[in-house]
Amino acid sequence: MQRNKSEKVDLKDLTQDQLVRFVESLGQPAFRGRQILSWIYRPGISEFSQMTDLAKEFRAALAHTATISRFDDYLLQRSMDGTVKFAFRLDDGLVIESVLIPEEDRNTLCVSSQVGCAMGCIFCLTGKMGLRRNLRTAEIVNQVCAVQEWSLSQGRRPLTNLVFMGMGEPLANLNNVLDAISILTEQRGLDFSNRRITVSTCGLVPQMQILGEQTGVNLAISLHAVNDEIRSSLMPINRRYSLRQLIEASRTYPQKRRKRVMFEYTLLEGVNDSAGDAEKLADLLQNVPCKINLLSVNPTGDSRFRSPKDEQILHFQKILRDRGFTVFIRQSRGEDIAAACGQLASDGWSENRHNPIKDQS
């Protein structure tokens, strides 16, 4: 918790333990920290004066030293398929995007962890932005708070699932992502089950181990190729951690029994979509407790890549299924509002974009 002396502490940057230490530094007992935590994640709470079971003097001391941030300033765009993309303007003027994906049995929010991304995956618009900066813990959890409040205000179901698959590589901002997960899963915080949270990585091998040891969340790995040559050409991270190292780390990823790592495999016509590639993928993932998601490449303005035909995708799936794998074909969502995988690029802050709706509720 490093702060300039004149700056107030944003309590949404703090996990329960950090909040306890903070109130203790103000001469208060530990339980006051837990009490405050259960206030700040209630919808509509942003003032200490609303915390009616705290003494007036303590509320005044809090107002002097701390603040509770909120994302009030945002735009949203609705896709024809029900997906809703939110663009949040941060204090320094940078913009991040989150995507709400309503489905029959779940309401998933795709959360960003960085502004831009340094990983440079070739098919990803966020990667083309480069890394502007890491998000603070509060900026990660505020995406969830804002969309949750918006959903409830619209009479929609609450969020059920969170996926760290928005802008940025979550494991490159590991400490803040770990703190955000702690708040998201804390009963007095946002009270999501670990089982309902998935963190996706392009393959930061050492950080995967730490994530598994410190949380019980699901891991998704963007694989996209079955040999080092092609993977390195698509995803520069592969030059640092090879396919062999990545597969080995996924095999030993610390997780509860019966949980399985999810491999994301984007099919690119003529690059990684042949029957031989499917067989090689099955060989690679043998003995790794896993599931496989097959995706079609989404338009990102890069005409080098095209999606294979449906029959090719089904054939690829069949080869893997015949080898005993659980394989899904993931339908792309929100393409018409540039909200699909690889399309987030924080260009949503424009009143001139297609049908943006200012929503401050």
Report how far residue 347's alpha carbon sits from residue 324's, in angstroms, rounded to the nearest whole number. Answer: 42
Active-site residue identified among 103, 149, 341, 351: 341
* Conformational region of residue 278, where left means phi above 0, alpha means psi within -120 to 50, and beta covers everything else: alpha
Q: Which C-beta is closer to ligand SF4: that of 69 or that of 300?
A: 300
Scanning residues 149 to 168, which ones bind ligand SF4 (CB under 6 A)? Answer: 168
Does the active-site annotation cover 145? no
Scanning residues 330 to 349, which ones bind ligand SF4 (CB under 6 A)? Answer: 342
* Conformational region of residue 93, where left means phi above 0, alpha means psi within -120 to 50, and beta covers everything else: left
* Contact with ligand SF4 (CB under 6 A) among 19, 84, 119, 282: 119
Active-site residue identified among 7, 24, 97, 202: 97
Nearest to residue 136, comparing CAs of 114, 162, 156?
A: 114
126 near ligand SF4 (CB under 6 A)? yes
219 near ligand SF4 (CB under 6 A)? no
CB-based closest residue to ligand SF4 = 127
Range in contact with ligand SF4 (rule: CB under 6 A) among 44-52, 99-107, 114-122, 250-258 = 114-122
β-strands 161-164, 131-134 pairing: unpaired
198 near ligand SF4 (CB under 6 A)? no
- Spatial CB neighbours of 61, under 8 Å, sequence gap ≥ 6: 26
Q: Are 265 and 314 in contact (CB under 8 A)?
A: no
SS3 34: helix
117 near ligand SF4 (CB under 6 A)? yes
Q: Which C-beta is closer to ligand SF4: that of 14 or that of 243?
A: 243
202 near ligand SF4 (CB under 6 A)? yes
Does the active-site annotation cover 97? yes
Report how far residue 10's alpha carbon sits from residue 5's, in angstroms, rounded to the nearest whole number. Answer: 13
As annotated, the active-site residues are: 97, 341
Query: Which parts of this chain interact with ligand SF4 (CB under 6 A)?
Result: 117, 119-121, 124, 126-127, 168-169, 202, 342
